[in-house]
Amino acid sequence: MAKLLLKLQRYFRRKPVRFFTLLALYLAAGSLVFLHSGFSGEPTVPGSPRSPAAAEGPGLPYLGVMQLGRGSKAAATMPAGARRHGPWFKSTSKEPSERGKSRDNGGARSRALRGRSGREKEEDRARYIGCYEDNTRQRTLRGMSFFDYKKMTVFRCQDNCAERGYLYAGLEFGAECYCGHKIQASNASESECNMECKGERSNTCGGINRLSIYRLELAQESARRYGSAIFRGCFRRPENVSIALPASQLMLNMSVDKCVDFCTEKEFPLAALAGTTCRCGFPSTLFPLHEREDEQLCAHKCAAEEFESCGSAEFLLVYQTQVQDNRCMDRRFLPSRAKQLVALASFPGAGNTWARHLIELATGFYTGSYYFDGSLYNKGFKGERDHWRSGRTICIKTHESGQKEIESFDSAILLIRNPYKALMAEFNRKYGGHIGFAAHAHWKGKEWPEFVANYAPWWATHTLDWLRYGKKVLVVHFEDLKRDLFAQLQRMVALLGVPACEDRLLCVEGQKDGNFKRSGLRKLEYDPYTAEMRKVISGYIRTVDAALKLRNLSGVPEDYFPR
Q: How does DSSP assign 338-397, residue by residue?
A: -SS-EEEEE-TTSSHHHHHHHHHHHHSB--EESS--HHHHHTT-GGGGS-TTSS-SS-EE
Asked if the model's pLDDT at residue 272 lies above 80, the reply is: yes
Which residues contact residue 479 at a Cβ distance below 8 angstroms, ignoring those fewer than 6 apart? 417, 418, 557, 559
Asked if the model's pLDDT at residue 99 lies above 70, the reply is: no
Average pLDDT estimate for 437-442: 86
The helix/strand/coil state of 440 is helix
Q: Cα–Cα distance between 435 and 429 in angstroms, integer?
A: 7
pLDDT at residue 133, as a whole number: 94
pLDDT at residue 218, as a whole number: 52
Task: Locate all alpha helices (DSSP H) within 433-471, ordered by sequence.
Answer: 440-444, 447-469
Average pLDDT estimate for 537-549: 94
pLDDT at residue 143, as a whole number: 77
Q: How confident is the model at residue 322 (pLDDT cuts 50, 70, 90)?
A: confident
Contact 540, 313 (CB under 8 A): no
Asked if the model's pLDDT at residue 84 lies above 80, the reply is: no
Contact 380, 147 (CB under 8 A): yes
pLDDT at residue 513, as a whole number: 73
Contact 435, 514 (CB under 8 A): no
pLDDT at residue 209, as a whole number: 94
Number of residues written out for the chain: 563
Contact 88, 158 (CB under 8 A): no
pLDDT at residue 328, as a whole number: 87
Asked if the model's pLDDT at residue 89 lies above 90, the reply is: no
Q: Of 69-78, 161-170, 345-354, 426-435, give the range with the top mean pLDDT.
A: 345-354
Least confident piece of the model among 1-15, 435-449, 472-486: 1-15
Average pLDDT estimate for 414-424: 94
Asked if the model's pLDDT at residue 473 lies above 80, the reply is: yes
Kindly report the pTM of this predicted structure. 0.61
Least confident piece of the model among 138-152, 239-253, 327-341, 481-495: 138-152
Contact 344, 397 (CB under 8 A): yes
Asked if the model's pLDDT at residue 300 lies above 50, the reply is: yes
Average pLDDT estimate for 110-117: 44
What count of Cα atoms within 13 Å lies in the side-chain half-sphere of residue 50? 7
pLDDT at residue 181, as a whole number: 73
- Mean pLDDT, the chain, rounded, equals 79
What percentage of the chain has pLDDT greater than the value 90?
A: 46
> Residue 342: phi, psi to the nearest 5?
-110, 125
Q: How confident is the model at residue 540 (pLDDT cuts 50, 70, 90)?
A: very high
pLDDT at residue 50, as a whole number: 34
Nearest residue to 213 via CA among 133, 96, 324, 308: 133
pLDDT at residue 123, as a whole number: 47
DSSP 296-349: GGG--B-SS-TTSB---SSEEEEEE-S---GGG---B--SS--SS-EEEEE-TT
Which residues contact residue 231 at a Cβ distance below 8 angstroms, ignoring those fewer than 6 apart? 318, 319, 320
352 alpha-carbon distance from chain centroid: 16
pLDDT at residue 73, as a whole number: 33
pLDDT at residue 347, as a whole number: 95
* Residue with the larger pLDDT of the pair 290 and 34: 290
Asked if the model's pLDDT at residue 546 lies above 60, the reply is: yes
User: What are the counts of helices (DSSP H) followed by strands (DSSP E) for the chain?
Assistant: 21, 17
pLDDT at residue 168, as a whole number: 87
Q: Cα–Cα distance between 15 and 19 in angstroms, integer?
A: 7
Asked if the model's pLDDT at residue 184 lies above 50, the reply is: yes
Q: How confident is the model at residue 326 (pLDDT cuts 50, 70, 90)?
A: confident
Average pLDDT estimate for 431-456: 88
The single-letter code of the amino acid at 15 is K
pLDDT at residue 433, as a whole number: 77
For the domain covering 342-560, report its CATH number.
3.40.50.300
Q: How confident is the model at residue 142 (pLDDT cuts 50, 70, 90)?
A: confident
> Residue 396: phi, psi to the nearest 5?
-120, 120
pLDDT at residue 308, as a whole number: 80
